Chains A and B, each alone.
Chain A
Amino acid sequence: MPLFLEKLLRPPNKNEVEISVFGPGYGESIVLHIPEIGWGVVDSCITRIGNTYVVPALNYLLELLPPTFPRLAFVVLTHPHKDHYEGIEKVLRQYPGGTERVCRYDGDGIRELKLYLTQQRVAGNYVLRGLVDVFKAMEEAVKSGTQFRRLGEMALVFDLKNVSVEGYGKTDIRMMALSPSATSSQKYVEMLFKAFPQNGKPIFPINDEAHNLISVALLLDIGDIQVILGSDVENGLQANTGWNGIISNKDCPELWANLVKVSHHGSENGFNPLAWEQHCRKMRPLAIVTSFRQGKTILPKNEDIQNLKKVSHKVGLTSPLRLEKNLYKYYPRDVVSSLLNRARYVRIVEPTEKIGFIRTRFLLDGTITESRAEAPSCWY
């Protein structure tokens, strides 16, 4: 059964850039169409619609692109967090057109990450569940002819010079990784080392936020358009990490943008005023935020949205998260009363009923040809 309304299934023109951001409440995924490059996917998530689990990016491509299913130009994993990697293996294995290149960070810390995952599994802790399968799917793809590209500060996903695009003329087309810096990777290695077990002592998982240290932010540059996909990059506690590391890098290109996928779900620790000053240098960009939840804290908070409104043309939020107070909708009376006796606070994360997403299409001169927030996504 199709998940997207027919009116949404008009593919972009050959000369249009499309950025579709899916964020069903937990998880984030971006589908891009880039003239002369083709389709690509940055990160993936899984969400439950009714009784079915779907991969929004995969479903969207499967419904939008038949019957030809052109080869995906790239699939990028920005960092090893469940809300960003879930379903990438399905995109790689189930998209009928195949994938030209898979890209992820593969520098310092990845071997340590693999060792950490193994040690935790031996200890019975299934941290970062499903990540091994994502790595495996990437390796399978590479074995069957897909290119593997290692990402890190200033690495290129693609870089075409002097390409002719209908209705615009000649342009360079480039997608570049802005992070992680060498200092961030080093810090990540140190954190993993600290979690390595010692004989006779208990073994604990590391703080989940540590994986943000190797988040890959991306810059797409084509015609008169720049798009920044901020992944989960945080401000950075040191001068050379996170956004601080990106903006202090002398080789970093100008960071003005027509559209910014706001980093780290719009959280305060992902909002870097100096970076935003650069994003606004030419115009106030569209700011797209995906939501996230840890405990009862829901991101972005209202004040995060207000902050973003000050520096952007408008703010789009994909699928705001809702917590249901009425437990009786889901559980029988005796179960609810026991639950309430035992816990001091209980809420149910409301399942998503529709895949909301925010789709923006541009011509290469920067004209916006479509700017759509499909419910439950909305603009502020």
Chain B
Amino acid sequence: MDTQATEAVISIDLTSLPLKENLAEAKSLFKVPYPQKIKQQTDFIPKQLHETQFFETQIIEEVPVRLEGLYKETIREWWFGQVEKIHFEEGYFEANLKDLKGIEVIAEFNIDSEYQESSDGDKYLFPGANFIFYVAIKHGRGYPETVSRLEFTTPHIWREEDNKRVEELYKALFPNDPSL
């Protein structure tokens, strides 16, 4: 992975974020530790996105994002997606996407060759898998150019220490229940 990554800019109109749910989802996706869970491509660095900014800022914020390669990208629109159904034989999957304004989109994407060729492709594509889809303008030599990307989170590999985290979280979520 390129450690000399440059920064790009995502413009998010924070006044148009009506859904607490979207905000929580945005935060949860931003918190995904790199490189464990986001498939190689773009690394979203959320340092500038604190909770208070999400709820209190009323102006358009510039959110820097580190990207691979020596170019910048400005995100034009992005969606949180969830895989609903996979048609491996026909080579596509159905997904439900939601943008930050809460507009819902139904889409079918071809299963890209990267998944077919990858031995761990099926790790990314499963019903319920989450992904980010975005359309961006790429700046730099030979550009601007509009690009789109699908970035899947990989399934979490369960570790011994996760059981401890489950115990703690269970206690926090269901304080009146007997502990595990």
Residues of A within 8 A of B (CB): 48, 51-53, 111, 114-115, 117-119, 121-127, 129-130, 132, 135, 139, 197-205, 207-208, 293-296, 323, 330-332, 334-335, 337-339, 341-349, 351
Given A111-B177, A338-B135, A351-B103, are A126 and B110 also a contact pair (CB < 8 Å)? no
CB of B148 within 8 A of CB of A339, answer yes
| A-B pairs under 8 A by CB, number | 146
A119 and B106 CA atoms in complex are apart in Å by 28
Nearest residue (CB) in B for A206 is B128
A344 and B162 CA atoms in complex are apart in Å by 39
CB of A343 within 8 A of CB of B109, answer yes
- A337 → chain B, closest Cβ, in Å? 7
Q: With contacts A343-B109, A344-B110 known, what are 20 further pairs, Cβ within 8 A? A: A114-B170, A114-B173, A118-B174, A119-B162, A122-B156, A124-B28, A124-B153, A125-B130, A132-B174, A204-B126, A205-B128, A293-B106, A295-B96, A332-B76, A335-B77, A338-B146, A342-B148, A344-B109, A345-B107, A349-B105
Interface segment out of the listed B6-14, B17-25, B48-56, B59-67: B17-25
CB of A202 within 8 A of CB of B156, answer yes
9 pairs of A and B residues whose beta carbons are closest in the complex: A123-B156, A295-B94, A202-B155, A197-B158, A345-B108, A349-B104, A205-B128, A343-B107, A338-B135
CB of B162 within 8 A of CB of A197, answer yes
CB of A343 within 8 A of CB of B108, answer yes
CB of B28 within 8 A of CB of A122, answer no
- A145 → chain B, closest Cβ, in Å? 16
CB of B146 within 8 A of CB of A334, answer yes
CB of B146 within 8 A of CB of A122, answer no
Nearest residue (CB) in A for B162 is A122
B107 contacts across to A, CB distance below 8 A: 339, 343, 345-347
CB of A334 within 8 A of CB of B148, answer no
B45 within 8 A of A: no
A334 and B138 CA atoms in complex are apart in Å by 13
B176 within 8 A of A: yes
Contact among B109, B126, B135 with A335 in the assembled complex (CB-CB below 8 Å): B135
A245 and B174 CA atoms in complex are apart in Å by 32
B5 within 8 A of A: no
A111 and B177 CA atoms in complex are apart in Å by 9
CB of A199 within 8 A of CB of B158, answer yes
Contact among A202, A330, A338, A348 with B123 in the assembled complex (CB-CB below 8 Å): A202
Nearest residue (CB) in B for A205 is B128
Contact among A53, A118, A331 with B166 in the assembled complex (CB-CB below 8 Å): A118
B102 contacts across to A, CB distance below 8 A: 48
B18 contacts across to A, CB distance below 8 A: 48, 51-53
Contact sample, A vs B, 18 pairs, CB 8 Å cutoff: A111-B177, A114-B177, A126-B25, A127-B128, A132-B174, A199-B159, A201-B157, A202-B154, A203-B155, A203-B158, A204-B155, A295-B94, A323-B106, A332-B77, A334-B135, A334-B137, A335-B76, A338-B147
